[in-house]
Amino acid sequence: MTYDCVIIGAGQAGLCLASFLTKKNITVLILERDERIGDVWRRRPDSMRLFTPRAMDQLPGLIMAGDQKGYPDKHEVADYLESYAQHNNLHVLLNKNVYSVEYNDKIYSIKTQDGETFQAKCLVNATGANQKVNVLDISRDIPAEIQQMTIDQYQNPKQLSSKNIAIIGDGASGRQAAKELAETHNVTLFCGSPRPFTPQELFGINTLVLFKKMTILNSDSRNIIGRWLRKRNFIPCNNITNKILKKKGVRLYSKFTSVDGKKLISDRGENCEPHIVIWSLGYKEDTDWLTIPDSSNSDGFICQVGHDVGGKTPYPDLFIVGRKWLSCRASELIYGCVKDAQRVANFVEMALKNK
């Protein structure tokens, strides 16, 4: 069977897109590499809660249970996505890890590691924004007796029996892990450029809800507001500021630049001797599986951005959804993926009409 559309990835964007396509009577199949829908959320730190309230963490047609102004944990989100797929009777195949894609005669052949091949007239990459943690090449200079792990492997302090921890990267995930680990471990956090923080709530209202009402969240990635937001890269959580982390006992160092024996050294000469290093330098896209020409480069998948073209690629029947800044700041949120999915659903519909 040749499907009208195959979607790679059963995260919120892929599921939402599949729902829209199904309503257009487009035959759609989702291939998901994990054992369960939502497993990517279940692997996140045990203490994690979203920055956005439940009212902004749900897809059309299914309300997330609980206080709509409250903040869901990782299990709520994972179980919600699983329920959404069931609620909409979406065709999802699990344990399907795509390793190769071919494009011949306007048909995509998608090969999975278990030996199956699926064919589609249109292909959508919905693998998401957080795929591979960035690890610097200098990691090879760190002695073997120092354990190294990435932030997506961290779940709770009980994992780490050794006391001295160095976290490289001070985004939200790195800072949250540092704050939590400081209760039981000696923690050093290597930081990058200064980061702006905003309160999670203002006057009892979630900051991102306010930004949504002010249309800031939906400002086009290409306009002056969108570019300013991207450059600022604010963190909507003011309980992980430098002042608070220092009170918890976290040592804040500047940028990690070198290794000398068992010492990790910053660009200011600060050093520590950790037992464990946790890499938390953000994520990059895993492009290895999309093997067709001109679909990716050193920056990741090749894709247009913006409200009108966000999700288009060099191929007329290959699209992307679920990517950060695909159209605006909201694109990386569950709330924001809905408009992106609607737009890409229209792209798919038009591409099929032109076949």
| pLDDT tens for each residue of 92-141 | 999 999 999 999 999 999 999 999 999 999 999 999 977 889 999 999 99
Give the pLDDT score at 212: 83
Provide the terminal-to-terminal Cα distance of the chain, rounded to the nearest Å.
17
**Residue 272 host element (H or E):** strand 271-272
Q: Which residues pair with 284 in a beta bridge?
A: 132
Give the pLDDT score at 218: 86
Identical fold, 2-131+285-353 and 133-197+235-279: yes
Give the CATH H-level superfamily of domain 2-131+285-353. Answer: FAD/NAD(P)-binding domain (3.50.50.60)
Nearest to 195 by CA among 237, 164, 161, 165: 237
- Hey, what amino acid is at 23? K
Concatenated DSSP letters of 6-46:
EEE--SHHHHHHHHHHHHTT--EEEE-SSSSTTHHHHTS-T
Contacts of 89 (CB under 8 A, 6+ apart): 22
- Hey, what amino acid is at 59? L
CATH code reported for the domain at 133-197+235-279: 3.50.50.60
What is the domain partition of the chain in residue ranges?
2-131+285-353, 133-197+235-279
Cβ atoms 209, 68 nearer than 8 A: no
Cβ atoms 18, 59 nearer than 8 A: no
Per-residue pLDDT of the chain (355 residues; tens, 9 = 90+): 999 999 999 999 999 999 999 999 999 999 999 999 999 999 999 999 999 999 999 999 999 999 999 999 999 999 999 999 999 999 999 999 999 999 999 999 999 999 999 999 999 999 997 788 999 999 999 999 999 999 999 999 999 999 999 999 998 899 999 999 999 999 999 998 887 777 888 778 888 887 887 788 888 889 888 788 777 777 777 789 999 999 999 999 999 999 999 999 999 999 999 999 999 999 999 999 999 999 999 889 999 999 999 999 999 999 999 999 999 989 999 999 999 999 999 999 999 999 8
Instruction: Give the span between the Cα atoms of 162 and 145, in whole angstroms.
Output: 12
Give the pLDDT score at 216: 81
